[in-house]
Amino acid sequence: MPCEPDELLDFLKSRRSIRKFKPDPVPREVIEKILDTARFAPSARNSQPWRFIVVDDPSIKEQFANIHPWAQPLKNAPLGIVVVADKNTSPTSYLVDGANATIYIQLAAHALGLGTVWLQTLRNIEDIQRILNLPENLVPVAMLAVGYPDEQPKPKDRLPLEKLMYYNKYTP
Ligand SMILES: Cc1cc2nc3c(=O)[nH]c(=O)nc-3n(C[C@H](O)[C@H](O)[C@H](O)COP(=O)(O)O)c2cc1C
């Protein structure tokens, strides 16, 4: 274990969605370090159906920022990453596999001092496929706005553990 277990747990709890970014570009070696880490996310049968599309072209980023009203954080982010998953490779589980890779990206970015926010893609699958020239089997699972944080949001409320957790059987 590279750090104390409690430190690691505190690190996991300290991630926040970041929607305001500094204009500083993210070096390519940092992007590649993050995506290299995402390769280690779990996937059904180790199918690794994910592919990562890094978007730094301002005109393409703009198209994504306008895809729905909640995608605006991409406007001021230096970078977008679209996580796509191949439904042919992992027919039952491509969405959860892709989600696993996405949270690995968010946590790896956080470890390197970058901020991210997950932006919904699942209502705009065909639009995103068209913009990125994706075949029908490559489904956009998430887009992330990525950059150096220019805000320090307070933690969002979380449900208390006692409302979430059961031993052995669910009790309504
Ligand atoms: C599937 C999914 C879709 C989301 N879509 C958006 C979105 O479109 N725009 C946005 O600003 N945040 C989006 N979020 C971020 C959530 O709002 C955020 O994770 C949640 O409020 C908890 O805040 P935290 O990430 O700071 O803990 C999304 C998160 C997930 C997991």
Q: Is the per-residue pLDDT at 100 higher than 90?
A: yes
Q: Is residue 166 part of a domain?
A: no
Please tell me the distance between residue 26's alpha carbon and the centre of ligand 1 in angstroms. Answer: 22
Q: Is residue 170 part of a domain?
A: no
Q: Which CATH number goes with the domain that contains 114?
A: 3.40.109.10
Please tell me the distance between residue 16's alpha carbon and the centre of ligand 1 in angstroms. Answer: 9
Q: Which residue minimizes the CA distance to atom 19 of ligand 1?
A: 17
Q: Is residue 29 part of a domain?
A: yes
Domain with 103 in it: 17-150
Q: How far, in Å, CA of 99 to CA of 96, rounded?
A: 5
Q: Is residue 11 part of a domain?
A: no
Q: Is residue 172 part of a domain?
A: no
- Condensed to tens digits (0 to 9), the pLDDT of residues 133-150 reads 999 999 999 999 999 999
Q: Is the per-residue pLDDT at 129 higher than 90?
A: yes
Please tell me the distance between residue 119's alpha carbon and the centre of ligand 1 in angstroms. Answer: 6
Q: Is the per-residue pLDDT at 128 higher than 90?
A: yes
The confidence band for 3, taking pLDDT boundaries of 50, 70 and 90, is confident
Please tell me the distance between residue 156's alpha carbon and the centre of ligand 1 in angstroms. Answer: 11
What one-character DSSP code corresponds to residue 114? -
Q: Provide the domain count of the chain.
A: 1
Q: How far, in Å, CA of 17 to CA of 23, rounded?
A: 17
Q: How far, in Å, CA of 172 to CA of 51, rounded?
A: 40
Q: Is residue 48 part of a domain?
A: yes
Q: Which residues make Cβ contacts (< 8 Å) with residue 90, sequence separation at least 6?
A: 43, 44, 45, 47, 49, 97
Q: Is residue 12 part of a domain?
A: no
Q: Does the CB atom of residue 38 touch ligand 1 within 6 A?
A: no
Q: Helices 125-132 and 58-65 sit at what angle, rounded to 10 degrees?
A: 170
Q: In the chain, what percentage of residues exceed pLDDT 90? A: 98
Taking CA atoms, 94 is separated from 11, 32, 35, 75, 137, in Å, by 27, 22, 18, 28, 10
Q: Is residue 34 part of a domain?
A: yes
pLDDT score, position 116: 99
Q: Which two structure tokens, joined as six digits, stand for 112?
A: 């390197």
Q: Does the CB atom of residue 77 touch ligand 1 within 6 A?
A: no
Q: Is the per-residue pLDDT at 1 higher than 80?
A: no
- Condensed to tens digits (0 to 9), the pLDDT of residues 42-91 reads 999 999 999 999 999 999 999 999 999 999 999 999 999 999 999 999 99
Please choose from 117, 124, 151 the residue to mutate so as to test ligand 1's pocket, defined by most ligand atoms within 8 A of CB: 117
